[in-house]
């Protein structure tokens, strides 16, 4: 494993502070910061921390998107009307519904088919984020997957910034994901985990198992594990 593993008692505060500092460091250096969010329930406390601590000035150069998304119908009008199982729903509920309009928010999927969303988001990601991320917030599955990059799947070899997955082993089957070149170019990569159930996969990660997608990210990772 490249990077550090930190056990924490409060993921929201401890990982949130590290992510906030990374965002501000990139803003100070570049004037803009492109942040990719993960899904699931784990990052909710971090999103709430960022909502509380980011200042209006921070949002001037902030571009927020996702590292992967489930392709699902929307529930109601956007923004905010995302499907309950979408990755965007948690982020909007805990943070993004109240950000200033100067902050650019790029949802990965907004109710179309997989191919339609791949074309739409690929264009938006290139135009508004330059096909890159400065700060990536990831989770890790019990099989070592990150984003929707699963062990042995062809998307692990994809050169394009965004890939379509149509046979995910976890439902729903159709997803969009950023690819390894995007993650490997990110300046700051955080992996957030919660619970004793992640001990086995984290041990495998630390062993350096090259078959795990998380170990195919070659820059320095910062793991925060709330036990």
Count of alpha carbons within 13 angstroms of residue 202, beta-carbon side: 22
pLDDT, mean of residues 114-134: 98
What whole-number distance in Å separates Cα of residue 63 and Cα of residue 164? 22
Q: In 3D, which of 93, 86, 81, 82 has the Cα closest to residue 69?
A: 86
pLDDT greater than 90 at residue 2: no
* Run of H or E residues at 33: strand 33-37
Cis peptide before 51 (omega within 30 of 0): no
Provide, rounded to the nearest whole percent, the portion of the chain with pLDDT above 70.
Answer: 100
Q: What pLDDT score does 81 carry?
A: 86
pLDDT, mean of residues 138-152: 97
**Inter-CA distances, 194 with 140, 142, 149, Å:** 10, 12, 20
Q: What does the domain layout of the chain look like in residue ranges?
A: 10-226
Q: What pLDDT score does 99 carry?
A: 95
pLDDT greater than 80 at residue 196: yes
CATH architecture, domain 10-226? 3-Layer(aba) Sandwich (3.40)
Q: What pLDDT score does 80 carry?
A: 77
Q: In 3D, which of 95, 119, 115, 117 has the Cα closest to residue 105?
A: 95
Q: What pLDDT score does 75 carry?
A: 86
Mean pLDDT score across all residues of the chain: 96
Condensed to tens digits (0 to 9), the pLDDT of residues 47-97 reads 999 999 999 999 999 999 999 999 999 887 787 789 999 999 999 999 999
pTM reported for the whole predicted model: 0.96
Count of alpha carbons within 13 angstroms of residue 101, beta-carbon side: 0
Q: What pLDDT score does 57 carry?
A: 95
pLDDT, mean of residues 190-205: 96
Q: What pLDDT score does 70 carry?
A: 97
> What's the full length of the chain, in residues?
227
Condensed to tens digits (0 to 9), the pLDDT of residues 84-116 reads 999 999 999 999 999 999 999 999 999 999 999
pLDDT, mean of residues 167-176: 96
Q: What pLDDT score does 77 carry?
A: 79
Q: What pLDDT score does 73 carry?
A: 93
* 15: region left, alpha or beta (phi > 0 left; psi from -120 to 50 alpha): alpha
Q: What pLDDT score does 71 carry?
A: 97
What whole-number distance in Å separates Cα of residue 214 and Cα of residue 43? 17
What whole-number distance in Å separates Cα of residue 118 and Cα of residue 123? 8
Residue 177: partners with Cβ closer than 8 Å, 6 or more residues away: 67, 68, 69, 147, 148, 149, 155, 162, 163, 165
């Amino acid at each position: 494993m490249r990077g550090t593993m930190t056990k924490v008692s409060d993921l929201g505060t401890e990982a949130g502070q590290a992510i906030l500092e990374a965002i501000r460091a990139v803003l100070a250096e570049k004037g803009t910061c492109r942040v990719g969010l993960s899904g699931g329930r784990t990052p909710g406390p971090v999103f709430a921390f960022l909502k509380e601590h980011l200042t209006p000035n921070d949002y001037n150069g902030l571009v927020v998107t996702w590292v992967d998304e489930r392709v699902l119908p929307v529930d109601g009008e956007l923004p905010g009307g995302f499907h309950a199982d979408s990755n965007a729903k948690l982020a909007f509920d805990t943070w993004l519904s109240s950000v200033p309009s100067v902050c650019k928010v790029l949802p990965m999927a907004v109710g179309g088919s997989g191919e339609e969303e791949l074309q739409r988001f690929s264009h938006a990601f290139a135009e508004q984020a330059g096909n890159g991320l400065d700060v990536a917030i990831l989770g890790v599955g019990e099989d070592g997957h990150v984003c929707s990059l699963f062990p042995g799947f062809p998307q692990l070899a994809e050169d394009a910034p965004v890939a379509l997955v149509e046979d995910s082993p976890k439902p729903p089957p159709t997803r969009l994901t950023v690819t390894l070149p995007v993650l490997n170019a990110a300046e700051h990569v955080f992996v957030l985990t919660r619970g004793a159930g992640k001990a086995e996969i984290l041990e495998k990660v630390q062993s350096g198992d090259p078959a795990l997608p998380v170990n195919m990210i070659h820059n320095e990772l910062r793991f925060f594990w709330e036990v």
